[in-house]
Structure 1
Amino acid sequence: MITSVVPGDPPRPAQVPGPSAAAPAERELPAEQPASGAPDALWWRDAVIYQVYVRSFQDSNGDGIGDLPGVRARLPYLKRLGVDGVWLNPFYPSPQHDHGYDVADYKGVDPMFGTLEDFDLLVEDCRKLGLRLVLDTVPNHCSTEHPWFQDALLAAPGSTERARFHFADGRGTDGELPPNNWRAMFGGPAWSRITEPDGTAGQWYLHMFTPEQPDLNWRNPEVPAEFEKVLRFWLDRGVDGFRIDVAAGLFKHPELPDSPDPEADERTRDSVNPLAWNQPEVHDIWRAWRAICEEYTQLDGRQRLLVGEASVPTPAEQAKYVRADELHQAFFFHLLHAPWDSEHFHQVIDAAVRDITATGSTVTWVLNNHDQVRTTTRFGSPERARAAALLMLALPGAAYLYQGEELGLPEVDDLPDDVITDPIFFRTGSRKGIRDGCRVPLPWSGTEAPFGFSPDDSAPSWLPQPPSFADHTAERALTDHTSPYHLYREALHLRRLLPQLGEGTLRWLETPPNVLAFTRGDGLLVATNFGTTPAPAPVTGTPLLSSAPCPPGTLPPATTAWWIQPRM
């Protein structure tokens, strides 16, 4: 159960909005106070943003694919949950070779997701509900169907059209070998050879992901100029910021030499090629984008956010991306990759707080996203997932929540081969690392598929939902006050009520083995038991909030609890 001293009013009828039927009653929380941390202009510093994977969130038209009208229908659910904003995965026109991360038009909406009018209505609804709206942008690569790449295929070697990408002659007697030894993140070589307009075998082009995602050449001034137009297009439509895909990418070594990485041939995802990632010139781009955001802020006082997917080896290296004139935030992935181990959690939290806050930014915590195994499965139990979530939400800084985590969804790891869509599967021939299992459409209501994801008599959902999702519907979670939904909701509410849960300070406490404990600000104490046996609670009394029942003086295994300590 959830132990909380937050008072509640009698339940009243409530509805999960959207195509599904009436939803059950939900306990009311006391009226929220304004966030006591940063002023509105700095809303992002301790915000909680909910990631919406659009194609799996809510289908409004019955084609089995989530869409923008579906997102609009569910916004009240997100407001009720208590998040500060929404991050939308790509919905732009795309052939969907990598589910929208192969963009054919950066200034439009793919018809499968709706229209620009639908998007404008979504912006309007977010504004009415007080929710920030953050868009995914994909500057490292585009689609082979993007007009620029189509022009490059028709142009000659050395042309201005090919200069927007990384085209190069091959090695070998007849150019039959790739220009270098680089490997793609999704498996195989990072180069593909084209057929020239005259029908002969021609040059090679670079793609650090799939062949359908050619990398753009950011050393060509046309590329940054075009993306400035893209940013302004969406900023003019009212968005509050951008999540930047592959923020440590963009620039490659200008001579494209072989990678010195001795394991390059074995790597697929998360490759560490120092010639293709984290080049120093990338910081100039983030300074330019930050200046554009500041320009809009000066017009109306609303600060626009830049949050980067900056996968770099250390917190100290990540800190360079969030200097005062660059990105506002960068996802801190070291916690996401941490095993269920107190010492490991301590080390990564300590390093993040030390290195990233030293820049003047705040840490941006994540436990899950659309590329990772769901937390319940990754940590091995629902109890650990709940404890990890409550621990993360007590840390200083901002947090991003992946859709469905508040429902306790497990990874769907038994999808048949014939329904898998992840390009990693097709590039490597292996199920290792595929991401479809965390992208299965959400269950909203009912006892069988599509669980309220689509209207009645709809096409099957784009990935099949397992029967076990009946135990994880939003409808069921709202009536069960022991559900992870209510744990998240009450934690998010307390983040608004308690000044200690803003940016603030974190001070570690001495603990027994397998236990982490720290204080936040004045009087809030947080502890997590990573062990398999009960541990002594660090304080007496009833927790303010806990991820599992806490008998007096005891912290059960796989449990996080928050206490308010009386002032001396």
Structure 2
Amino acid sequence: MLDNRTADATAPQVVHEPGRADGAWWRDAVIYQVYPRSFADANGDGIGDLPGITARLDHLAALGVDAVWLSPFYRSPQADAGYDVADYRDVDPIFGTLADFDDLLARAHDLGMRVVVDLVPNHSSDEHVWFQEALRTPPGSPERARYLFRDGKGADGSEPPNNWGSIFGGAAWTRLTPERHGVDDGQWYLHLFDTKQPDLDWSNPEVRAEFEGVLRFWLDRGVDGFRVDVAHGMVKAEGLPDWDGHVSMIEGTDDADAADAVNGSGNSGPMFDQDGVHEIYRAWRAVLDEYDGDRMLVAEAWVEPLSRLARYVRPDEMHQAFNFAFLATGWDAPALREVITASYAVNDSVGAPTTWVLSNHDVVRHASRLGLADPSSRPKGIAAHDEQPDEELGLRRARAASLLLLGLPGSAYLYQGEELGLPEHTSLPAEVREDPAFFRTNGEERGRDGCRVPLPWEAAAPGFGYSPNGRTWLPQPASWAAYAADAQTGVAGSTLELYRETIALRKAERLGLGGAAWEPAYADAPDVIAVRNGSVLVVANLGSTPVALPADAEVLLASGLPGDAPVGADLPGDTTVWLRVR
């Protein structure tokens, strides 16, 4: 057993100074991601909707979150679960109406929560009126200039304009044909994602003006901010040059300075992180600054090293950017310390908060990732014939990771269901899967359906109370009865109650605006992360050997599973504790 009771009296190593107590709300907010089709279904068609979300907002208010981020609910053919937008100013009928959105927004505001909506500017649906107009007009027309249409290579133009691949697998170019598009001029269009998601050409002033209008449409309705999808992908390198790399959701370069937190959590290549994106975000920031209420922008930018990511949150650009380097690091104390240190260094240099996240709708839930034999791996989905996570170990580590995240200064994002401890659904049969990545890779990538399964609200109800008649667009595992919200409410030690207690204490102690310093007593403990934040010491033991805690510390919170012995003088492995220190 490691003994740290004789602590070094050296002052803690400060890596982040406390923030201003009167800072904007988004600097320390806990924001909850709602994936609309899987949150709650009010009309019984098996697909979640806006009225269903509104009816369950009390759950989020009781959880204590500051804001709700809604994944896309816009009019869409749903080729990629709504990330293929046909009309950016309307609600898809499967989710409800604009009036339903206004009701949701009003109810959230009444409950003291802000609302952030998803914006998808890299591409539209091929059913968007612009793309349909492009198909009806010849090459070189203003309508085609809104997208990236190009002639093919070769004598007959039968080869793609370049060798880029799609993030979802296969080629990133599709050729127009009379059979599919009613067009016989043979041009190709770029789609970094699915064929039904043509990339827009952001060098076109008309595209820029249109999206500024979309921002104003939703700001005028009262939304508090925007999560920007593929925020690093809108501008492509001049000339669209060939590239020999491979595009993927969460794999990227690993050839930069390790001190700048490079771990394969970024996209590289001439289609990503081009300098021109920053001009776009400066213009957007100017639009948001015209409105009162501290409206905000958060970037989904898979960019590394972290110094590149920090460019998105300079004072005249976005307000936040997801820290995917933290998400991608896994269960590795030295690597996490490096990421945390580097994150504060680069974000503090531009005056931005660090924005922590562990799960979302694009990655395997962290309660399952952390239960794998390699808890730092990043599988692209899990199927029944793959390695199955250790469910208990994964939940133990997930609770510990969440307490670490929520104890760090900055903003924190939670993905729906993580407050219940939900694992990935790892046995979905191929015939029910819907993720285009599964089909475009012929199942090589299992896809993201496993983290998108409808939530369990009531243990004894059909469909676990997700819909009034038990219908669910994806099947739920029977084991989720134990994770249902009503089975955890009021149960001491449950994951739901742990999250509620943790968020409440985080607010009471103003930890989101606090400072961060490494506790010197644990400097030589390789599996321990110990961060002092005000009068709270957050200690995470990522190893298997217990470590001693300060003799005079008061235990405020501990992440152990229900039934575990209370944390006393020693901190067990795979456990995080919050201590009151003097």
Q: Same fold (TM over 0.5)?
A: yes
> What does residue 497 of structure 1 align with?
508
> What does residue 129 of structure 2 align with?
147
> What does residue 278 of structure 1 align with?
273
Task: Extract unaligned runs of 5+ from structure 1.
Answer: 1-35
* RMSD after superposition: 1.7
Change (3 A) 1:195 1:408: same
Q: How does 1:70-89 map to 2 (within 5 A)?
A: 70-89=52-71
Change (3 A) 1:505 1:443: same
SS of residue in 2 equivalent to 1:236: helix
Distance, in Å, in 2 between the alignment partners of 1:336 and 1:538 is 29
> What does residue 310 of structure 1 align with?
301
Are the aligned partners of 1:185 and 1:270 in contact in 2 as well (CA < 8 Å)? no
Are the aligned partners of 2:334 and 2:526 in contact in 1 as well (CA < 8 Å)? no
> What does residue 416 of structure 1 align with?
429
Task: Extract unaligned runs of 5+ from structure 2.
Answer: 1-17, 253-266, 372-393
Matched to 1:358, the amino acid is S
> What does residue 329 of structure 2 align with?
338
How big is each residue's C-alpha offset from its partner over 1:282-320, in whole Å with a ceiling of 9 and x where there is no partner?
A: 0011101111111012xxxx1001000011111111110
Query: Which among 287, 296, 319 is matched to residue 292 of structure 1?
Result: 287
Matched to 1:437, the amino acid is G
Distance, in Å, in 2 between the alignment partners of 1:531 and 1:541 is 21
Deviation at 1:81, TM superposition (A): 0.5
> What does residue 205 of structure 1 align with?
189
Distance, in Å, in 2 between the alignment partners of 1:348 and 1:232 is 36
> What does residue 472 of structure 1 align with?
483
Query: Which among 54, 72, 78 is matched to residue 96 of structure 1?
Result: 78
The reply on whether 1:518 has 2:531 as its aligned counterpart is yes
TM-score normalized with structure 1 length: 0.89
Query: Which among 504, 515, 518 is matched to residue 507 of structure 1?
Result: 518
> What does residue 120 of structure 1 align with?
102
Are the aligned partners of 1:449 and 1:465 in contact in 2 as well (CA < 8 Å)? no
Query: Which among 507, 530, 541 is matched to residue 529 of structure 1?
Result: 541
Deviation at 1:257, TM superposition (A): 1.4
> What does residue 237 of structure 1 align with?
221
Change (3 A) 1:215 1:515: same
Query: Which among 548, 572, 579 is matched to residue 556 of structure 1?
Result: 572
Which runs of structure 1 show a deviation greater than 4 angstroms over 4 or more consecutive aligned residues? 36-41, 196-199, 266-271
> What does residue 487 of structure 1 align with?
498
The reply on whether 1:436 has 2:449 as its aligned counterpart is yes
Q: How does 1:56-67 map to 2 (within 5 A)?
A: 56-67=38-49
> What does residue 32 of structure 1 align with?
none
Distance, in Å, in 1 between the alignment partners of 2:126 and 2:28 is 38
Distance, in Å, in 2 between the alignment partners of 1:145 and 1:509 is 58
The reply on whether 1:375 has 2:391 as its aligned counterpart is no
Are the aligned partners of 2:367 and 2:421 in contact in 1 as well (CA < 8 Å)? yes
Matched to 1:285, the amino acid is I
SS of residue in 2 equivalent to 1:335: helix
Matched to 2:298, the amino acid is V
Distance, in Å, in 1 between the alignment partners of 2:112 and 2:306 is 32
TM-score normalized with structure 2 length: 0.87
How big is each residue's C-alpha offset from its partner over 1:322-377, in whole Å with a ceiling of 9 and x where there is no partner?
A: 00000000000011111211111111111101111221010000000001111111
Matched to 1:156, the amino acid is P
Name the count of aligned residue pairs.
Answer: 521
Query: Which among 320, 339, 354 is matched to residue 311 of structure 2?
Result: 320
Are the aligned partners of 1:38 and 1:46 in contact in 2 as well (CA < 8 Å)? no
SS of residue in 2 equivalent to 1:61: coil
Deviation at 1:537, TM superposition (A): 1.5
Distance, in Å, in 2 between the alignment partners of 1:39 and 1:69 is 36
How big is each residue's C-alpha offset from its partner over 1:448-481, in whole Å with a ceiling of 9 and x where there is no partner?
A: 54000000x35x3100011011010000010321
Distance, in Å, in 2 between the alignment partners of 1:560 and 1:404 is 20
Query: Which among 248, 254, 257 is matched to residue 238 of structure 2?
Result: 254
Are the aligned partners of 1:68 and 1:118 in contact in 2 as well (CA < 8 Å)? yes
Are the aligned partners of 2:540 and 2:576 in contact in 1 as well (CA < 8 Å)? yes
Change (3 A) 1:501 1:224: closer
Change (3 A) 1:139 1:517: same
Are the aligned partners of 2:354 and 2:409 in contact in 1 as well (CA < 8 Å)? yes
Change (3 A) 1:431 1:55: farther
> What does residue 132 of structure 1 align with?
114
How big is each residue's C-alpha offset from its partner over 1:474-504, in whole Å with a ceiling of 9 and x where there is no partner?
A: 0001032111111111110011111344243
Deviation at 1:144, TM superposition (A): 0.1
